[in-house]
């Protein structure tokens, strides 16, 4: 069995494990006494530039990379602060132009696929949250003006209330990973309405050169389902560094009037 097939098998095997039978609701209705399971599927694509720079920051070589990525995430949120989940996906990258002196060009010449898997834990309360877990990938991840690398872990931080404005910072947590935001994303999330969230911030730390404007939104159009869209805008050395993604999340059991949609992000 190849390593990519093994990663996919682990991800698929984890799906039924995360679904648990819920318990009863709190008699006050303030917080549910039962768990909640969410399943997210998303896909997207875009471009970025691998730019090799000199000692004074000047561009020496540039390669434009096109990518398409798909991702999925399943998580179970327990009645308390704990959430257990796993996310994974694959990234397909191809180089439009190839410079034989560019580090890592061998894996870009004919295109490449990089499947990855990221089990994680998250602790949440109304005012903040932290998350993290190991990250396994078949290939190293690319980044501009540097050698490919293995990040080894994911991490996330939230500061602020779920039902108002909060600051979010995440490393290798987006779904999908590239079109959903890039490696490192930080910004402000606003709860516009009980069923709508909007995010704006910056993405960086690769693979693109420099940073990009990041935006995202989620709409719970049904008690058990929401749509999400995200994108980033940027350019460097006349290379566009843009991306767009869309997906859907299913929630089990469906939200009821007694259960808060802001229990966790």
Q: What is the pLDDT of residues 218-243, one digit of tens each?
A: 999 999 999 999 988 876 666 677 88
Domain count, the chain: 1
pLDDT of residue 52: 64
Stretch 187-205: mean pLDDT: 90
Pair of tokens at residue 194: 């009980």
Q: What is the pLDDT of residues 64-120, one digit of tens each?
A: 788 899 999 999 999 889 999 999 999 998 876 544 454 544 344 567 889 999 999
C-alpha–C-alpha distance, residues 206 and 241, integer Å = 11
Strands 239-240 and 243-252: unpaired
Pair of tokens at residue 171: 């490393």
Radius of gyration of the CA atoms of the chain, in A: 19
User: Quick check: is 109 in a domain?
Assistant: yes
User: Among residues of the chain, what percentage have pLDDT more than 70?
Assistant: 71
CB 122, CB 130: distance < 8 Å: yes
Q: How many CB atoms within 10 Å of residue 256? A: 10
Please, what is the Cα angle at 224 between 218 and 229, to 5 degrees? 20
User: Quick check: is 150 in a domain?
Assistant: yes
User: Quick check: is 26 in a domain?
Assistant: no
Per the DSSP assignment, residues forming a β-bridge with 36 are: 77
User: Quick check: is 198 in a domain?
Assistant: yes
User: Quick check: is 247 in a domain?
Assistant: yes
First CA to last CA distance, the chain: 36
Q: Is the pLDDT of residue 160 over 90?
A: yes
Residues 6+ apart with CB under 8 A from 58: none
Q: What is the CATH number of the domain that holds 61?
A: 2.40.128
What is the domain extent for residue 7? 3-19+36-252
User: Quick check: is 117 in a domain?
Assistant: yes
User: Quick check: is 30 in a domain?
Assistant: no
Higher pLDDT, 201 or 26: 201
User: Quick check: is 257 in a domain?
Assistant: no
């Amino acid at each position: 069995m190849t390593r990519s097939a093994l990663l996919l098998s682990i991800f698929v095997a984890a799906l039924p494990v995360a679904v648990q039978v819920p318990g009863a609701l709190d008699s006050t209705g303030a917080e549910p006494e039962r768990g909640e399971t969410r399943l997210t599927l998303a896909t997207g694509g875009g471009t970025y530039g691998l730019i090799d720079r000199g000692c004074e920051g000047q561009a020496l070589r540039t390669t434009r990379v096109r990518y398409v990525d798909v991702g999925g995430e399943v998580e179970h949120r327990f009645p308390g602060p704990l959430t257990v989940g796993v996310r994974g996906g694959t990234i397909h990258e191809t180089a439009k132009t190839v410079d034989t002196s560019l580090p890592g060009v061998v894996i870009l010449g004919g295109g490449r696929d990089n499947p990855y898997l990221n089990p994680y834990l998250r602790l949440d309360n109304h005012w903040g949250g932290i998350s993290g877990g190991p990250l396994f990938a078949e290939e190293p991840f690319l980044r501009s003006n540097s050698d490919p690398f293995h990040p080894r872990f994911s991490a996330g931080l939230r500061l602020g209330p779920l039902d108002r404005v909060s600051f979010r910072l995440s490393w290798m947590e987006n779904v999908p990973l590239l079109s959903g935001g890039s490696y490192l994303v930080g910004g402000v999330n606003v709860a516009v309405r009980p069923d709508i969230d909007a995010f704006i911030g910056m993405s960086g730390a690769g693979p693109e050169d420099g940073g990009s404007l990041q935006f995202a939104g989620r709409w719970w159009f049904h008690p058990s389902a929401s749509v999400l869209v995200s994108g980033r805008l940027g350019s460097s050395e006349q290379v566009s560094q843009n991306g767009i993604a869309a997906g859907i999340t299913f929630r089990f059991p469906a939200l009821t009037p007694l259960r808060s949609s802001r229990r966790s992000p």
